């Protein structure tokens, strides 16, 4: 199995009309966050099916796909990494985590981050020091910053919120809408597990949050409580 086999399978699934829709949806025009990204128009379940056929692909071949200009090829590479990580032994997991971190900037759209970071970075760091997440939170790269907070989703599901809150404090003044949405989403996930902990954090910080971040964080609140936060927003 080689990278070209994966690429050929994906090309055979391409859909021109859907590709045009996705290129608009993922903001690929000049000056937008996905500028220059190219789509084949493949739905995610079909990309997953291809990825699962190539779990045994060598990392050197995965890298060739990950550095493709085509969105679905990069996604497929990341989904292969997820499958390899989930099925790997401890030594293999270390290699895949290190590979992911080294090549993290290739997860260069929000779906690529969201479908891979919690399952590789978050899962790997469950019982380890999480310094890399704080390094990424301070990065100038949009996607490394998103990886830092989205990876904490794995911790949240285990009832651990401290890293999410600390990373939120770092990203609180970030200018990018995709970071506002990601942070708000993670705070909302904290609330699903512990509304008390989410509100304790919000009461300290909500007045200085970007509005989009706050709206995402309180989206599931009862209407009265949600409006109270928004009315008091400065």
Nearest to 108 by CA among 142, 150, 82: 142
Check residue 215 and give its pLDDT: 93
Is 137 a member of any domain?
A: yes
Residue 233 pLDDT grade (very low, low, confident, very high; cuts 50, 70, 90) = low
Rounded CA separation 66/87 (Å): 20
Backbone phi and psi for residue 162, each to the nearest 5 degrees, phi listed first? -60, -45
> Are 136 and 104 contained in the same domain?
no
HSE-up of residue 199 (Cα within 13 Å, Cβ side): 11
Total Cβ atoms within 10 A of residue 69: 9
Asked if 10 and 72 count as a contact pair (C-beta separation under 8 A), the reply is: yes
Looking at residue 233, which CATH number applies to its domain? Answer: 1.25.10.90
Q: Do residue 104 and residue 11 come from a single domain?
A: yes
Across the range 149-173, mean pLDDT stands at 97
As a whole number, the mean pLDDT across the chain is 93
- For residue 114, being part of any structural domain is answered with no
Compute the radius of gyration of the chain from its Cα atoms: 19
In a domain, 155, yes or no: yes
- Give domain status of residue 198, yes or no: yes
- pLDDT by residue (tens digit) across 50-100? 999 999 999 999 999 999 999 999 999 999 999 999 999 999 999 999 999
Q: Say if 141 falls within a structural domain.
A: yes
Q: The tokens of 108 are what?
A: 């260069």
**Distance in angstroms between the alpha carbons of the first and the last residue of the chain:** 56
Per the domain annotation, does 189 fall within a domain? yes
Residues 152 and 75 in one domain: no
Give the other-Cβ count within 10 Å of 86's Cβ. Answer: 13
* Residue 116 lies inside a defined structural domain of this protein: no
Q: Is pLDDT of 234 > 60?
A: no
Better pLDDT: 234 or 79: 79
Do both 100 and 136 map to the same domain? no
User: Residues with Cβ < 8 Å from 196, sequence gap 6 or more?
Assistant: none
CB of 111 within 8 A of CB of 74?
no
Full domain range(s) for residue 157:
129-234
Q: Is the pLDDT of residue 151 over 80?
A: yes
Burial of 58 (0-12, 13-18, 19+ CB in 10 A): exposed
173-193 residue pLDDT tens:
999 999 999 999 999 999 999
pTM, to two decimals: 0.92
Structurally, how many domains does the chain consist of?
Answer: 2
Work out the percent of the chain whose per-residue pLDDT is above 70.
99
87-144, pLDDT tens digit by residue? 999 999 999 999 999 999 999 999 999 999 999 999 999 999 999 999 999 999 999 9
The mean pLDDT of 187-206, rounded to a whole number, is 94
Instruction: State whether 20 and 79 are in the same domain.
Output: yes
For residues 152 and 97, membership in a common domain is answered with no
Q: How far apart are CA 196 and CA 22, in angstroms?
A: 38
């Amino acid at each position: 199995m080689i990278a070209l086999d994966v690429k050929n399978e994906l090309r055979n699934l391409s859909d021109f009309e859907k590709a045009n829709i996705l290129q608009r949806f993922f903001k690929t025009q000049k000056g937008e966050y996905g500028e220059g990204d190219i789509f084949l128009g493949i739905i995610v379940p079909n990309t997953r099916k291809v990825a699962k056929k190539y779990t045994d692909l060598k990392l050197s071949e995965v890298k060739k796909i990950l550095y493709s200009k085509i969105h679905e090829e990069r996604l497929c590479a990341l989904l292969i990494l997820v499958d390899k990580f989930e099925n790997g032994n401890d030594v293999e997991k270390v290699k895949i985590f290190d590979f992911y971190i080294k090549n993290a900037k290739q997860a260069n759209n929000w779906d690529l981050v969201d479908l891979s970071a919690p399952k590789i970075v978050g899962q790997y760091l469950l019982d380890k020091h999480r310094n890399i997440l704080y390094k990424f939170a301070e990065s100038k790269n949009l996607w490394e910053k998103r990886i830092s907070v989205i990876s904490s989703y794995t911790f949240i599901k285990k009832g651990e919120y401290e890293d999410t809150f600390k990373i939120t404090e770092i990203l609180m003044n970030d200018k990018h809408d995709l970071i506002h949405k990601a942070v708000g989403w993670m705070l909302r996930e904290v609330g699903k597990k512990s509304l008390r902990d989410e509100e304790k954090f919000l009461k300290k910080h909500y007045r200085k949050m970007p509005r989009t971040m706050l709206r995402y964080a309180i989206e599931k609140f009862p209407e009265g409580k949600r409006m109270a936060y928004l009315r008091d927003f400065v």
